[in-house]
């Protein structure tokens, strides 16, 4: 297993297309669709590959769509461990209206996992060695309980590895109760965690440390949109402004940012550079069309500009 393992319980086939304009009750002519493997952890692994790194993608898949999903993963040349389940891998539809340049994202539900199926993910991690970082990203599949995070955190700890969590709502709150290495909430999610109506850049550090000091995490990366991002620990913090670019799409920006952070962490970079590289990766994803993630040429250009 590679140094980084990504975990995706709710993988998806992302089908993207372009139409001239959206109108009700009309047959809408679409462009040739593009198919890509998706889901939070999968996208992190894909972005890591684009950055010249390696990871192991651990995911569940099922049905004829699951077979197609595995073909898509193989094309990405990512080290993969596929765990079967008695259902189907979901499909998402992303439609770009070229007349307005607005994007519509339709997320479909996947199958419901049985206990032995999601436990197979934990067993794989328990029986594997060599990974230093485990990252779980995106929504959990139906049927996966919040206690999944308790067992996941314990297994990763026993392996002397570090758990990175990029999720939201109840799952994020529960993960922090378990105690993890790094989380990446946005301002709204951090506000909810702290039980306050609103946060801004002036009180982010205090809010983050209220969670860090309780043992929720060691590092918190807070994405703040146009204001950039902050990386906070118990003793230091770093703020990086978002570079000004012409944005085409925000799809994959968060996953690209997580990928950049992980690549930088495995290289032992100082925290300031870790955050800069993560922001560069997230920004690079926004200047590409549709569902494209970051590419290393854009990342290096943006990162060098930030120095």
Active centre residues (catalytic): 255
Q: How far apart are CA 14 and CA 39, in angstroms?
A: 9
CB 89 within 8 A of CB 63: yes
In this structure, what token pair is assigned to residue 251?
């799809």
Angle among Cα 33, 34, 40 to the nearest 5 degrees reads 130
Going across the sheet that includes 229-232, the strands are 79-84, 56-61, 4-8, 133-137, 162-166, 180-183, 217-223, 229-232, 237-240
Q: How far apart are CA 58 and CA 42, in angstroms?
A: 8
In this structure, what token pair is assigned to residue 100?
């307005």
- The 3-state DSSP class for residue 256 equals helix
By the 10 Å C-beta count (0-12 exposed, 13-18 middle, 19+ buried), 168 is classed as middle
Residues 6+ apart with CB under 8 A from 106: 92, 93, 94, 95
Q: Which residue has the tokens 């993969």?
A: 80
Residues 6+ apart with CB under 8 A from 12: 37, 38, 39, 89, 90, 91, 92, 107, 108, 110
Going across the sheet that includes 34-38, the strands are 34-38, 12-19, 90-97, 102-107
């Amino acid at each position: 297993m590679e140094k980084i393992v990504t975990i995706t319980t709710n993988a998806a086939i992302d089908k993207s297309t372009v139409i001239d304009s959206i109108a009700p009750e009309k047959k809408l002519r679409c462009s040739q669709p593009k198919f890509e493997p998706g889901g939070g952890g999968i996208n992190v692994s894909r972005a890591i590959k684009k950055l010249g790194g390696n990871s192991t993608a651990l995911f569940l898949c099922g049905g004829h769509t699951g077979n197609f999903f595995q073909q898509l993963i193989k094309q990405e040349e990512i080290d993969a461990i596929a765990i079967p389940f008695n259902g189907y891998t979901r499909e998402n539809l992303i439609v770009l209206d070229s007349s307005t340049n607005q994007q519509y994202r339709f997320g479909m539900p996947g199958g419901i996992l049985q206990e032995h199926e999601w436990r197979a993910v934990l067993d794989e991690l328990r029986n594997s060695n060599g990974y230093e970082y485990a990252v779980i990203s995106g929504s959990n599949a139906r049927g996966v309980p919040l206690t999944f995070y308790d067992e996941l955190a314990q297994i990763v700890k026993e392996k002397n590895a570090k758990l990175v969590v990029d999720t939201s709502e109840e799952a994020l709150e529960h993960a922090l109760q378990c105690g993890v290495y790094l989380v990446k909430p946005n301002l709204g999610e951090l506000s909810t965690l702290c039980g306050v109506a609103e946060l801004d850049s002036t009180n982010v550090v205090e809010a983050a440390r209220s969670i860090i000091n309780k043992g929720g995490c060691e590092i918190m990366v807070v994405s703040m949109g146009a204001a950039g991002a902050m990386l906070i620990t118990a003793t230091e913090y770093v703020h990086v402004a978002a570079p000004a670019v012409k944005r085409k799409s925000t799809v994959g920006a968060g996953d690209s940012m997580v990928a950049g952070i992980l690549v930088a962490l495995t290289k032992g970079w100082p925290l300031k550079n870790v955050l800069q590289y993560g922001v560069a990766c997230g920004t690079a994803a926004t200047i590409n069309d549709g569902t494209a993630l970051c590419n290393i040429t854009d990342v290096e250009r943006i990162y060098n500009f930030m120095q």
